[in-house]
């Protein structure tokens, strides 16, 4: 069995996340997802506090059919131990991590694959878009009434369902 491991915060789960998980799963038989704990996301990664709490993000990831196991990502230096503990053969990350010392050293232990990001979607962009919409629309007016395109999450409906 070929095991694939990936990491991320996976806050505001969106089309880009789903595509990454689907492509990661296609590289093996079993997909393990390391979800950043709230503390790791804010203190060590230096990003804004996730909208959803860690437990909620884990529940959402567990509900995605491509994901076989969700584990906590609490420290940068846990990757090698995770590879050994879960017998991972491949580590997959988004292309924004290519060349980073946070992952490059793993090449000595597993296949390291960087997948292209999904163009035009990110958690940061969704937050910005929602904020811009909230401050620009009169109270009670919704984006679908303002001629806005369908939200990115509606693109998930276009995913082919296989049995």
Taken in order of first residue, the domains within the chain and their CATH numbers are 3-120 (3.40.50.620)
Helix (H) or strand (E) holding 92: strand 90-94
pLDDT at 152: 47
pLDDT at 60: 95
pLDDT at 136: 74
More confident residue, 64 or 146: 64
pLDDT for 26 beyond 90: yes
Least confident of 13-17, 79-83, 122-126, 149-153: 149-153
pLDDT at 160: 52
Q: What is the mean pLDDT of residues 47-61?
A: 91
* Global confidence as pTM: 0.76
Q: What percent of the chain has pLDDT over 70?
A: 74
pLDDT for 157 beyond 70: no
């Amino acid at each position: 069995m070929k095991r694939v491991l990936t990491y991320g915060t996976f806050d505001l789960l969106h089309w880009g996340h789903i595509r990454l998980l689907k492509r990661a799963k296609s590289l093996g038989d079993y997909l393990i997802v390391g979800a950043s704990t709230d503390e790791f996301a804010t203190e060590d990664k230096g990003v804004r506090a996730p909208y959803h709490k860690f437990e909620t993000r884990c529940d959402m990831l567990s509900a995605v059919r491509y994901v076989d196991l969700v584990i906590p990502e609490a420290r940068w230096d846990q990757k090698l131990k995770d590879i050994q503990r879960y017998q991972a053969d491949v580590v997959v990350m988004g292309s924004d991590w290519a060349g980073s010392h946070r992952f490059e050293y793993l090449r000595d232990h597993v296949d390291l694959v960087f997948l292209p990001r999904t163009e035009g979607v990110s958690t940061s962009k969704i937050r910005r878009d929602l904020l811009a919409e909230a401050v620009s629309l009169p109270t009670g007016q919704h984006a679908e009434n303002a001629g806005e395109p369908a939200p990115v999450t509606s693109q998930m409906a276009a995913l082919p369902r296989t049995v």
